[in-house]
Amino acid sequence: MIHRDIEEEMRSSFLAYSMSVITSRALPDVRDGLKPVHRRILYTLFEKSLTPEKPYRKCADIVGSVLGEYHPHGDASVYMALVRLAQSFSMRYPLVDGHGNFGSIDGDPPAAYRYTEAKMTKMSVNMLTDIQKETVDFQSNYDDRLKEPTVLPARFPNLLVNGSEGIAVGMASHIPPHNLGEVIDGLDYLIENPEATLEQLMTFIKGPDFPTGGIIMGRAGIRAAYATGRGKLTVRSKTEITEIKNRQCIIVTEIPYMVNKAELIKSIAELAKEKRVDGIHDIRDESGRKEKVRICIELKKDANANLILNQLFRYTQLQDTYGVIML
């Protein structure tokens, strides 16, 4: 039996746990923009030669290989990490090409991994090109049977391009996605002009570019985020007021990032039912494969469309905030 002060044991054990979560679980590596689980998923796809021109492979096989060879944690967490890499509404540039039900912007869960299939995208191929040429360091896996890369030799700045969301111990990361072309142009300018100012770089990188679209209101939040690493962005849905069958309608075609479309429609319907927003006759979800987001809010004949739209921006997630933490 080892006698030890409980306060000292709690301090040292929690510190070790915290460092493990921060460095090995919850936060991305700035070099490739990936958390360990995502890196191991992509490396497993690469080892299985699941490149874009090859057939899809069952996700059950992929998840099993990730668990057995590199990531000895829960299968559900690995599968959900893989699913997110394939979701076009979560990733600005998806790194996994998914075949089957991988969830939806309405919050629908993905199908079980025995049904879905996956392979690499062209973007993820560029995350691993030349890895065989000793471009990165390798380390032993959890049981010293295999070697895995400590980082991927990404050909583009994935952390800025796809962003990242993570909550560790005592800190969190909320990095928004950006447009690939803008980021590359900004990097080219920075290479040629190492002393470039923030204002000069912002002529190339205008601001975040969310996969679900939306309009960022104002530049102050963007500049604060880039200058200090922290900022608050107000993101507004893209809307249009039009007339359909002699009634004014508000058509929503883009919504803020990470907003559940089904819950958004439900909240608008509840406001109309409770008369907190008066003048709404009907609301329909007309989204489909051609138009991924299309919400039609049909108004009563005597309604003021602009007034109702402003009320919806105020009371619903048609307008939302995104807190930036560049960590």
Gap between the Cα atoms of 250 and 76, Å rounded? 40
What token pair was written down for 287?
């989204």
Residue 209 has pLDDT above 90, yes or no: yes
Q: Residue 321: which pLDDT band, with cuts at 50, 70 and 90?
A: very high
* In the predicted structure, residue 249 carries a pLDDT above the cut 80: yes
DSSP letter (8 states) at residue 131: G
CATH architecture, domain defined by 238-325: 2-Layer Sandwich (3.30)
3-state helix, strand, coil in the chain (%, to 5): 35, 20, 45
pTM listed for this prediction: 0.93
The token duo for 51 is 């490149």
Local structure of residue 100 (DSSP, 8 states): S
* pLDDT, tens digit (0-9, with 9 covering 90-100), for 137-161: 999 999 999 999 999 999 999 999 9
Q: Which segments within the chain are labelled E, that is strand?
A: 57-58, 96-99, 117-120, 138-140, 147-149, 164-167, 172-175, 215-216, 230-236, 238-244, 247-254, 280-285, 295-299, 319-325
Say which CATH superfamily domain 31-155 falls into.
Topoisomerase II, domain 5 (3.90.199.10)
User: Which residue ranges make up each domain of the chain?
Assistant: 31-155, 238-325
Cα–Cα dist 313/237, whole Å: 8
- Residue 239: count other Cβ atoms within 10 Å of its Cβ: 20
pLDDT digits (tens, 9 = 90+) for 159-189: 999 999 998 888 899 999 999 999 999 999 9
Scan for tokens 């991927």, then name that residue: 152
pLDDT, residue 29, reads 94
Active site amino acids: 115
Can you give the pLDDT at residue 317? 98
**pLDDT of amino acid 18:** 87
List, for residues 68-121, the tens digit of each pLDDT value.
999 999 999 999 999 999 999 999 999 999 999 999 999 999 999 999 999 999
Burial class (CB in 10 A: 0-12, 13-18, 19+), 46: buried
- Burial level of 132, CB count in 10 A (0-12/13-18/19+)? exposed
Q: Report whether 42 contacts 120 (CB < 8 A).
A: yes
Residue 162 CA to its chain's centroid (Å): 7
